[in-house]
Amino acid sequence: MKINWGTGIVIAIALFMSFILYFVIKVQSNSKYDNELVVEEYYKHDARFGEEMTRVQNAQDLTQKPIITKTRDGVTIVFPNEFIPNKIKGNVSLYRPSNKKLDFEIPISLSNPTLLIPKSKLVGGRWDINMEWQYDGKSYLTKDVIYID
């Protein structure tokens, strides 16, 4: 049997489509490939985007910004000396893009300008840090990415 160009092209397209379909089904059915949403309530989060940008801009406008660094003890957040530590309130959210189960939140309650997140709570890899805090009635949002060894 002789195969002409038209038949060959149809066979090639059919094989390519089945190849792609195989991988789509494999990824959707295998729990190893987790395809969760980054944010649970996406539309509520998106509706508050303007407020979030205001808080980010407030943090950018500071002359001295909080410094987030990786140390051998964990992650330290040092607030500027111009702030009175016990007046700073808020939360530090640590988000692990690769595994939602590792995400956690720490309230900001300070007696000195340094907050330590112990290394025992942090698994190696990338961590997205969102620090939402208030001082003297003004809200701030600081975002950073840190890599733990």
- Please tell me whether residues 111 and 63 are part of one structural domain: yes
- Please tell me whether residues 113 and 136 are part of one structural domain: yes
- Please tell me whether residues 63 and 100 are part of one structural domain: yes
- Please tell me whether residues 31 and 48 are part of one structural domain: no
Residue 18 has pLDDT above 90, yes or no: yes
- Please tell me whether residues 54 and 115 are part of one structural domain: yes
Q: How far is CA 80 from CA 10, 67, 68, 74, 145, in A?
A: 67, 8, 11, 19, 20
DSSP 3-state of 128: strand
Q: What is the pLDDT of residues 86-105, one digit of tens each?
A: 899 999 999 988 888 888 99
The alpha-helical segments, DSSP class H, found in the chain are 5-29, 42-47, 49-60
Which tokens is 39 given? Answer: 């944010």
Average pLDDT over residues 112-125: 89
Residue 101 contacts by C-beta under 8 Å, 6 or more apart in sequence? Answer: none
- Please tell me whether residues 61 and 119 are part of one structural domain: yes
- Host domain of residue 60: 42-148
Average pLDDT over residues 116-122: 89
List the CATH number of the domain containing 59: 2.60.40.10
Average pLDDT over residues 14-19: 97
- Structural domains of the chain, count: 2
124 versus 38: which is more confidently predicted?
124
- Please tell me whether residues 55 and 118 are part of one structural domain: yes
Residue 97 contacts by C-beta under 8 Å, 6 or more apart in sequence? Answer: 38, 126, 128
